[in-house]
């Protein structure tokens, strides 16, 4: 696969499974939750075995692996009940060198809210995500990726709230965090100092950088260099996102597949071996297509025919 490793998000379309079955709060009985967790763990095991077979070493676990894990309705000690399952699944990931991650939705966990109930819910989601990666035996390279969140009531106040939340988080909620810029509110130049100030990795996303450019604009090579200065001091291999703009979609919408030009542009801008999390609607199928495309040798140009009349 070369020096740059590719991964995909949550669902394995080849197997038609996603390890993300959940239910409504109203239907979340202990028995129902236990059944769903067991099903999700069984599917995660199948996905990691599939990845191992195909040499895929980067994968994002869906946040619903344990349904409603950070919600008060889920009172199960699921980490005790399924400890052996996590051990066995984690062994697959470790023996095949799979780097795992999680990425709570902005509604599930963000940093900039001033509302105590929102901050508490985010902390619980981060504690849950950290516990999952810990139970799978992942090293410090396995991260929980977060966005900053909204910008209310104003940008300065919101960013200050993000700093204060990171300062206040218990270690088990913050030690796996990586902070990502987005395509709607917070640009790379705004988020990078937040990550640096707290000794956290900054995760670069070229599509976000194009849709919501910084002022001044950050070229893609500089974007990756910025990110590298946060991963490398921690002794971690850099990891970035890779997505292509969906044609006729709103700005920032992910395409089904990765445009090979976007991959080539990203690779040309990299200085170090890195991991890419592919964010494409076709998940593992997009990864396989990109592998085939990028490994095809360039077609030689035909020599011009010179007429000797």
**CA 238 – CA 146 distance, rounded (Å):** 16
- Select from 254, 181, 255 the least CA-distant residue to 224: 181
Token pair, residue 134, equals 């810990």
- Please report the pLDDT score of residue 108 as a whole number: 81
* CA within 13 Å, CB half, 210: 17
Strands 239-242 and 275-278: parallel
What is the structure's pLDDT at 308?
Answer: 38
Position 295 scores a pLDDT of: 55
Contact 224, 183 (CB under 8 A): no
Residues paired with residue 84 on neighbouring β-strands, in sequence order:
none
pLDDT (0 to 100) of residue 305: 44
R_g (Cα) of the chain, nearest Å: 21
Angle between helices 83-95 and 116-135 (to 10 degrees): 70
Render the chain in DSSP notation, one character per residue.
Answer: --SSEEEEES-BTTTTB-S-----GGG--HHHHHHHHHHHHHHHHHHHHHHHHHT--EEE--TTSSTTTTSTT----HHHHTHHHHHHHHHHHHHTT-EEEB---TTT--S----HHHHHHHHHHHHHHHHHHHHTT--TT--EEEE-----S-HHHHHHHHHHHHHHS-HHHHTTEEEE--SSS--HHHHHHHHHHTT-PEEB-HHHHHHS--SS---HHHHHHHHHHHHGGGT---EEEE--BPTTSPTTPBPSS--HHHHHHHHHH-SS--EEEE--TTHHHHHHHHHHHHHSPPPPPPPPPPP--
* CA distances from residue 124 to 5, 110, 129 in whole angstroms, order as listed: 31, 11, 9
Enter the tokens of residue 189.
Answer: 């130049």
Report the alpha-carbon distance of residue 44 to residue 41 in Å, rounded. Answer: 5
Low-confidence ranges of the chain (pLDDT < 50): 1, 297-309
Q: Are 278 and 243 in contact (CB under 8 A)?
A: yes
């Amino acid at each position: 696969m070369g020096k740059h490793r590719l991964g995909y998000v949550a669902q394995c379309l080849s197997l038609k499974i996603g390890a993300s079955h959940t239910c409504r709060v109203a239907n979340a009985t202990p028995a129902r939750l236990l059944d769903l967790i067991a099903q999700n763990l069984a599917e995660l095991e199948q996905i990691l075995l599939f990845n191992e077979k195909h040499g895929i070493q980067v994968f994002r676990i869906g946040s619903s692996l344990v349904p409603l894990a950070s919600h008060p309705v889920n009172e199960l000690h699921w980490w005790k009940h399924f400890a052996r399952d996590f051990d066995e699944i984690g062994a697959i990931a470790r023996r095949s060198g799979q780097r795992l991650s999680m990425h709570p939705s902005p509604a599930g966990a963000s940093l900039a809210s001033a509302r105590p109930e929102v901050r508490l819910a985010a902390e619980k989601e981060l504690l849950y995500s950290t516990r999952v990666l810990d139970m799978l035996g992942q090293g410090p390279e396995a991260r929980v990726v977060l966005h900053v969140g909204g910008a209310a009531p104003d940008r300065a106040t919101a960013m200050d709230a993000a700093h204060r939340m990171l300062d206040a988080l218990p270690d088990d909620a913050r030690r796996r965090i990586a902070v990502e810029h987005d395509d709607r509110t917070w640009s790379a130049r705004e988020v990078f100092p937040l990550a640096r100030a707290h000794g956290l990795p900054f995760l670069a996303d070229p599509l976000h950088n194009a849709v919501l450019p910084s002022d001044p604009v950050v070229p893609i090579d500089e974007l990756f260099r910025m990110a590298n200065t946060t991963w490398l001091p921690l002794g971690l291999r850099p990891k970035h996102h890779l997505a292509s703009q969906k044609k006729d979609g709103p700005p920032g919408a992910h395409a089904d597949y990765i445009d090979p030009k976007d991959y080539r542009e990203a690779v040309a801008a990299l200085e170090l071996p890195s991991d890419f999390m592919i964010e494409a609607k076709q998940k593992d199928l997009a990864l396989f297509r990109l592998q085939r495309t990028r490994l095809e040798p360039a077609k030689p140009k035909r020599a011009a025919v010179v007429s000797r009349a």
